[in-house]
């Protein structure tokens, strides 16, 4: 594993659609090493302090996910870059529109130096 890669944690609610898509789309991206999790207790991978500590930057899909981190992990919230992509939970897994939106928004995040 390349230690020069940025460690990105993608977060949504249940880690089945948006963050799981992002994880799959970007797992071979030369710019980053990725993991994903959800804020809900039924998530495929539940958001944890270990995952948050692992990440250099956290990418959330909606403001409610950032607010969840602020409420439940205030030290992380105050010490890590957290970027919201503002992608609603309106998509299915590997839906072409979601893939396109994720790629466009993540390219923008990198171009703007937000992570």
Mean pLDDT across the chain: 95
Residue 2 has pLDDT above 70, yes or no: no
pLDDT in tens, 37-48: 999 999 999 999
Does the model's pTM come out above 0.85?
yes
Q: Sketch the domain layout of the chain as residue ranges.
A: 6-108
Please tell me the CATH code under which domain 6-108 is placed: 3.40.50.2300
* Alpha-carbon span 73 to 53, nearest angstrom: 10
For residue 4, the model assigns a pLDDT of 82
pLDDT in tens, 55-102: 999 999 999 999 999 999 999 999 999 999 999 999 998 899 999 999
Short-list 50, 5, 49, CA closest to 29: 5
């Amino acid at each position: 594993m390349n230690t020069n890669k940025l460690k990105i944690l993608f977060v949504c609610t249940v880690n089945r659609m948006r963050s799981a898509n992002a994880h799959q789309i970007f797992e071979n991206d030369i710019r980053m090493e990725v993991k994903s999790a959800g804020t809900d207790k039924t998530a495929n991978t539940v958001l944890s302090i270990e995952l948050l500590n692992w990440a250099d930057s956290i990418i959330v899909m909606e403001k409610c996910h950032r607010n969840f981190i602020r409420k439940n992990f205030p030290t992380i919230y105050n010490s890590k870059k957290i970027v919201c992509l503002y992608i609603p939970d309106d998509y299915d897994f590997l839906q072409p529109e979601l893939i396109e939106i994720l790629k466009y928004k993540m390219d923008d995040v990198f171009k703007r130096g937000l992570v």
